[in-house]
Structure 1
Amino acid sequence: MPAAIRRRPKDRKAQIARASADAFSAQGYHAVSMEDIASRVGISSSALYRHSPSKYDLFREAMLSLSGQLVAATAFAEDFTAGESASVLSELITSLVAITMDNRTAGGLYRWERRYLRPGDKDALKRDLDLVNRRLQRPLAAQRPKLSTAQLSTLSAATLSVIGSITDHSTPLASGEVRNFMSQMAADILAADLPANRANRGPYYSRPVLTAAGGTYEFVLQESMRLFYERGFRDTGMEDIAAAVDMQPSGLYRYFPGKADMLVASYRRAADRTSGDVATIVARHPEPEDALAALITAYVTRSFNYPEIAYVYYTERYHVPDHELVMLDAIQQSTADAWVRLVTATRPEMTAARARYAVYAAYAVIVDLGRVVRRADSAGVRATARRLTEVALLGRPARTGTTARRGR
């Protein structure tokens, strides 16, 4: 009998797109090879090159495919009447949650890896995301006409952060329950009352500038993380770090064997300090809601003071040795568990699994807002971040006194 003819699957292009997005999301742009993607699809590297000329082309297609899906899923919101604004908002949330769930293994790609896009492609991604934000803001403005342009922008960005947080973890929960709960959380964010505008007038915060006078070790850690944040780990050399701290590259090896050790030191310190905050605050505040409000304040403060830590963690953790990642994950898991216990103690009707989704959504709101306002950090901005975090966790502002809110 003649050999069966193998035919190319009709959905091969879609298979490649999904495999590419999953690979880049899981390993980071630079760590992925054409061979990795081909292996995920089950084809040879040469066959993959017939579909796409380079890894970058696959990366661009994966990135813009994700944003394009968000644009397509929200296209219905272009035309609506004022009387339809509530239903349009609800449908927008449902559509955005559904698309994010469908792309859960790759949906975080545009949040963390977009800096590797070339300028024109980066502009195209920004246009897509700006369009999705506007489609959220227009019916929200019809529903809440007293909101300022800045408030509308903040609420739409926080809503997308909440929805996007689904991609940051894999907590087991039935798909339908995830969709319902995330939709409710997003609706709570859009309905949140933000602090008065006058609070945004100041004071503005500026980070203390460390120098070698404060200790070479601290100076090297600060400058290495700054460079990893601005340029990326792969594109930052030991020579670059040495130049930033005004010393010879050989001098760095007195403190760190290599770049990855700088990452480990910064990650471990941040994880330990966050864990320490939890232990201290819970001991100081016996009421769960008071403790939760104080924890939110502490987390906002740390994240806004050092926005590069969380960003570099998500984008460069692939360069950390596996045994170090295991330890970091254990510390972070313990910290999240403590937050979950406080949420369920405050909201007894909520399951621990749902509370964990709320905790990761709260983290996403804080981290994303911290990055956005890096150059315009103020008391009002931090108050807004705290309020939105409380709403993500509790569905409402925390009912606490000033002592708990300040974390004292």
Structure 2
Amino acid sequence: MESVSDGEPAVRRRPKDRKAQIARASADAFGSQGYHAVSMEDIAARVGITPAALYRHSSSKYDLFRDAVLGLGQMLVDATAFADDLDDDPAGTLRALTSALVDTTIGCRTAGGLYRWEARYLKDPDRAVLVDQLKVVNRRLQIRLAQLRPKLTSSQQRTLLTATLSVIGSITDHSNPLATGEIRLCLNTMATDLLAAELPTTRRRTGVRREAVSPGAEAGMYEHVLYESVRLFYEHGYRNTSMEDIASAVGIQTSGLYRSFPGKADILALAYRRAADRHSSDTADALSRTSDPEVALDELIDDYIGRVMESPDLPYVYYTERHNVPEADLRVLETIEHSTMDAWARLVTAARPELKVGAARYAVAAAFSLTVDFGRLFNRDADPESVATIRRLMEVTLLGRPVKRRR
């Protein structure tokens, strides 16, 4: 214990910002590890206090989680509150709103994915609060967009705003290096392009239409297990799904499942590897067929949307449960992902020479993210016009405009 000049022991006082320290540590822990993987001991260690001291601040992990998620939602509300007093310049206000959301997201990048991916663990009353917070932010944006583009339907306005928010939030899903100023410029540019995008109003080519697949026992146990596992992970979460649940869904004994798969984490890793390998293979195939970067991107967009439509549950699980993948498998997975993203980014920079490869990677990650977000919205009910809308949004995100049409 420290001593003062008269020899008496100093009294160690609690830091005045201890509550804020706990809030930041909780948000970062839940954001990087997911709700179920975090313990009170983990949060206490991040703050540098004992678990007992943490319990004096909060009675449960859930309370810290709720406060972290709703705290992020309130940050978005507060960051856009200035718009309520501005009515004379809708274009300037809309730019300022998106810029404020970009800055807020950059400032809480580690924890920012909480409200995107982990909010499913909120209790109903708390989830309702988050929904209300996001409605406030959306309303502020939609008012200005409607003033600027009065011919858009309400549905089209919501589509463009959803895409814009998805692109801004996409930086919470990856850690590609880029200077803060460049991240800000990249996100603001994509947001501006999306808010000005013309959405398809008639049916047009959407590539090869792929229906959602549902392999049963006739496909073999391996395919059946992967499909049912991903479905259960999507519906109930990885932590709330057991090997017994998977075996029951497949229609076999749990002991039989263990004879083929060492554990639940191994099944998850196999599903991830399958998705990454298919994406990598699709990319290689498209590049082997053409040297025109825009034509290649045109084909890749079709392939990517097709994969999402084919296995609509997998992309969501891919984004939300990766912290449960074993470390060795995750390293291999990241190698495949980085290689595939670099291939897409090189195509983007070839089509847009003014864009640096680092910014191109952010555009690629944003295009993937908005496709997954819209896939969740449409679920298994995406009609050709919805698919055409997703395609247009990907095109604009990657290139600022639609790509060349194939002949």
| Shorter-chain TM band | over 0.9
Does structure 2 retain, via aligned residues, the 8 Å contact 1:204–1:378?
Answer: no
* 2:406 counterpart (376, 380, 402): 402
- Report Cα offsets for 1:70-105 as digits up to 9, x if no partner: 011112223543x42101100101110011011011
- Equivalenced residue count is 399
Mapped to 1, the partners of 2:370 and 2:297 lie a distance apart of 16
Q: Is the 8 A contact 2:312 2:376 kept in 1?
A: yes
**Equivalent position of 1:8 in the other structure:** 14
Structure 2 residue aligned with 1:189 = 194
Residues 315-368 of structure 1, C-alpha deviations (whole Å, 9 max, x = no match): 222222111100000000000010111011111111111111111111111111
* Superposition TM-score, scaled by structure 2 size: 0.94
SS in 2 for 1:402: coil
C-alpha distance after superposition, 1:354-403 (max 9, x if no partner): 111111111111111111110421111111111111111111111x1235
Amino acid aligned to 1:238: M
1:334 aligns with 2:334: no
What amino acid is aligned across from residue 255 of structure 2 in structure 1?
Answer: S
What is the rounded CA distance, in whole Å, between the counterparts of 1:363 and 1:395 in structure 2? 15
Equivalent-residue separation in structure 1 for 2:401 and 2:115 (angstroms) = 29
CA–CA distance in 2 between the matches of 1:197 and 1:22? 44
Aligned to 1:122: 127
Alpha-carbon distance in 2 for matches of 1:54, 1:154: 38
**Match for residue 31 of structure 1 among 22, 31, 37:** 37
Structure 1: which amino acid aligns with 2:75? Q
Change (3 A) 1:384 1:71: same
Q: CA deviation at 1:130?
A: 2.2
Q: Aligned with 1:4: secondary structure?
A: coil
1:17 partner letter = A
Q: Note the 1:1-150 alignment, pairs <5 A.
A: 1-81=7-87, 83-150=88-155
Deviation for aligned residue 1:14? 1.0
Contact conserved, 1:281 with 1:294, CA < 8 A, in 2? yes
CA deviation after TM superposition for structure 1 residue 239, in Å: 1.6
**Partners of 1:275 and 1:199 in 2: CA distance:** 27
Residue-by-residue CA offset, 1:109-156 (whole Å, 9 max, x unaligned): 111111111111111111111221222111101111111111111111
Paired position in structure 1 for 2:272: 267
Q: Which residue number corresponds to residue 180 of structure 1?
A: 185
**Contact 2:193–2:400 under 8 Å retained in 1:** yes
Match of 1:406 in 2: none
Amino acid of the residue matched to residue 347 of structure 1?
Answer: R
Distance 1:32 1:265, change over 3 A: same
How well do the aligned residues superpose, as a CA RMSD in angstroms?
1.7
Counterparts of 2:296 and 2:28, CA distance in 1:
38
Distance 2:13 2:139 in 1: 44
Percent identity between the two aligned chains: 58
Shift of 1:205: 7.1
Unaligned runs of 5+ in 2: 1-6
Contact 2:173 2:319 in 1 (8 A): no
CA distance in 1, matches of 2:393, 2:405: 17
**Which is further off, 245-254 or 255-264?**
245-254
Q: Tell me the residue number matched to 1:343.
A: 348
Structure 1 stretches of 5 or more lacking a match?
404-408
Cα distance in 2 for residues equivalent to 1:401 and 1:126: 39
